[in-house]
Amino acid sequence: MLLEIEVRDLRNLVPQRFVPGGGRHLILGPNGAGKTSLLEAVYLLATTRSFRTPQLADCCRHGADGFVVRGEVEGQWRVGLEVAWRRDDGSRRSVNGKRSSLAEHLAVLPVLAWTAADAEVLAGAPAARRRLLDRGVLGLEPGAIVSSARYRQALRGKRQLLAGTAGAAELAAWNRLLASSAAEIIARRRRYAERLQSALAEVLEGCRLTVPPITLRYRPSPAVDGGAGAVEQALAAIADRERRQQRVLLGPHRDDLEVRWGGRDVRRVASAGERKALGLVLLAAQSRLQSAAGRPPLVLLDDVDSELDPDRLAAVWPAFDDVEQLLATSSRPAVWQPLAVDRRSTCEGGRVRPR
Amino acid sequence: MPDPLARLIGELSRLPGIGPKTATRLAHHVLRTPREDAERLAGALLEVKDKLFHCSRCHAITAEEPCSICTDESRDRQRICVVEEPFNIAPIERTGEYHGLYHVLLGALSPQRGIGPERLTIDDLLARLEGVEEVILATNPNVEGEATALYLARLLKARGVDVTRLAFGMPVGGDIEFTDEVTLGRSLAGRRPL
Ligand SMILES: [Zn+2]
């Protein structure tokens, strides 16, 4: 649980210390007041990355030389986190004042976030759904980052190999290397998709959202149901084609998670509001899985009620009832009147105040 | 900046792992040291180039041809341990776990750096297999090293040789150069068929 966070020179936020508290904390304020920047600061502290930009320079207040985000986290122990960036020196992260590896840092404060970038997770390209699967897998098994990193490196090698004049034997060696990490990724994603399906059913039972039956179907690439051997065989079968076309045609970097809505593709039948509601419920299911695994996440919901009419918001909101810690932002105080939250704050002119 | 200093910094920064900052610091350090020290350094640099070369059999660094390991009759000639670089041999020797011969590939497969099998000493390795029962692949446990091991494993098995790989208990993406003797010794003892 995040006990407090301190920000300096981040976006338009006034230097401040913010204490989120436990349970569901709603932050209300007009657009541009700094609500999203506060969530961004929390996300940055937890993951060392921003959900708005790949360039940390963009997060720095205009005219400042750098920014600092610092926080105290209470889990098994009390841990201090810090992420800082300086124009002349780049970014720096630390756990308890010591430089940390990314894996160490990520393990301290698990977060699950819904931001503008997630709006099309269900309707958009498969990459967004692979990210959904992977952040879920990593939330349960932080060690899984090793096979993804290995896969990415090996894939980069294979791409370069195919771009040149790759010998068949050399390509076979890279395929065997890829197959072992690919099989691990596929097995983890498959297991996670199954668990997410049952967690989703539980969450839907607990809220008043009326939706047709939802099925999650994991579509691995290659479409095999076995270990490294089966993946390697599938890769070998198209090796000649890959060499001719000089590109990689198979591998879990092309996986998809198909979401069926009453037996049909959710992309074609659900409205934007329905997709947003389902997306939030999926996030709640992810949070439930992580909590059950003893790693309850801090849930961040930016502009949570956009695309949702008051009735649908009221139907979805109970999905987050038992979340350990949640920060939600909204610019529409009226729709929140009837809804239960544990704390309310207002954000104005870059400063958040309890109310 | 005076020319000779710029030249020294330029030369130093061409060394692997040395950026312009470190090169500048080293150059200023040399500038401050007594002349004898600088002469010893220059002498050592030239001596390395004049007196050392790659062994024609195993490609290790040696002052005599063939190298002392290749000519050592007490070593186990049925085993060859394959490493990427000449400096990978010393850490394995220090473990005391291995008494066979070595073969240095002089690199690893790396599409990124345009290094294919033809750039490594693989043909020379294949030419040394007579009487060899086991080839131990001790390339680095990173992506390039693993791909190289898998590539070699196919070639070697097709020639009827047992192929084993170090059982790395070391961090993934690691480098045997930075692995301690105890860990490396354990990896050797626990090597597995590939
Ligand atoms: Zn030799």
CB contact residues (below 8 A), chain B span 115-134, against chain A: 116-117
pLDDT of residue B185: 82
Separation of CA B58 and ligand 1 centre (Å): 4
pLDDT of residue B173: 52
Band the pLDDT of B176: cuts 50, 70, 90.
Answer: low
Q: Is-contact A192 A133, C-beta < 8 A?
A: yes
The CA distance from A321 to A253, in Å, is: 35
Nearest CA-CA distance, residue A271 and chain B, Å = 44
For residue A156, the chain B residues in CB contact (below 8 A) are 112
- What is the predicted ipTM? 0.75
For the range A79-82, what are the long-range contacts, defined as Cβ-Cβ under 8 Å and sequence gap of 24 or more? Answer: A79/A108, A81/A45, A81/A46, A81/A105, A81/A108, A81/A109, A82/A45
CB contact under 8 A, A174 and B147: yes
The CA distance from A11 to A32, in Å, is: 11
Nearest CA-CA distance, residue A70 and chain B, Å = 29
Interface contact B109, partner A, CB < 8 A:
yes
pLDDT of residue A120: 81
| Assigned token pair, A109 | 């404060």
**Least confident piece of the model among A108-117, A182-191, B133-142, B179-188:** B179-188
Separation of CA B155 and ligand 1 centre (Å): 22
Nearest CA-CA distance, residue A228 and chain B, Å = 14
* Domain B3-51, CATH homologous superfamily name and number: RecR Domain 1 (1.10.8.420)
Q: What are the tens digits of pLDDT across the range B114-132?
A: 899 999 999 999 999 999 9
Strand-strand pairing, A325-330 and A23-28: parallel
> Around ion ligand 1, which residues have CB less than 5 A away?
B 55, 57-58, 60, 66-67, 70
The CA distance from A65 to A44, in Å, is: 18
Separation of CA B83 and ligand 1 centre (Å): 13
For residue A172, the chain B residues in CB contact (below 8 A) are 151, 154
Total-model pTM: 0.84
Separation of CA B71 and ligand 1 centre (Å): 7
Q: Cα separations (Å) of A33 from A14, A18, A280, A330?
A: 11, 15, 24, 11
CATH architecture of B74-165: 3-Layer(aba) Sandwich (3.40)
CB contact under 8 A, B147 and A167: no
Closest chain A CA to residue B194: A176
Query: Measured between CB atoms, which of A153, A163, A172 is closest to B143?
Result: A153
A171 Cβ contact list (under 8 Å, min separation 6): A158, A161, A162, A239, A242, A243
Average pLDDT over residues B64-69: 95
Separation of CA B101 and ligand 1 centre (Å): 8
Say if residue A142 is preceded by a cis peptide, omega within 30 of 0: no
pLDDT of residue B1: 56
For residue B148, the chain A residues in CB contact (below 8 A) are 173
Query: Measured between CB atoms, which of A149, A161, A169 is closest to B111?
Result: A161
pLDDT of residue B177: 63
pLDDT of residue B29: 95
CB contact residues (below 8 A), chain B span 39-78, against chain A: none
* Domain assignments of chain B as residue spans, ordered by start: 3-51, 74-165
Interface contact B168, partner A, CB < 8 A:
no
The CA distance from B29 to B8, in Å, is: 11
pLDDT of residue A218: 96
pLDDT tens track, chain A, 355 positions? 999 999 999 999 999 999 999 999 999 999 999 999 999 999 999 999 999 999 999 999 999 999 999 999 998 889 999 999 999 989 999 999 999 888 889 889 999 999 988 888 888 899 999 999 999 999 898 888 888 988 999 999 999 999 987 789 999 999 999 999 999 999 999 999 999 999 999 999 999 898 899 999 999 999 998 899 999 999 999 999 999 999 999 999 999 999 999 999 988 888 989 999 999 999 999 999 999 999 999 999 999 999 999 999 999 999 999 999 999 999 999 999 999 999 999 999 999 999 8
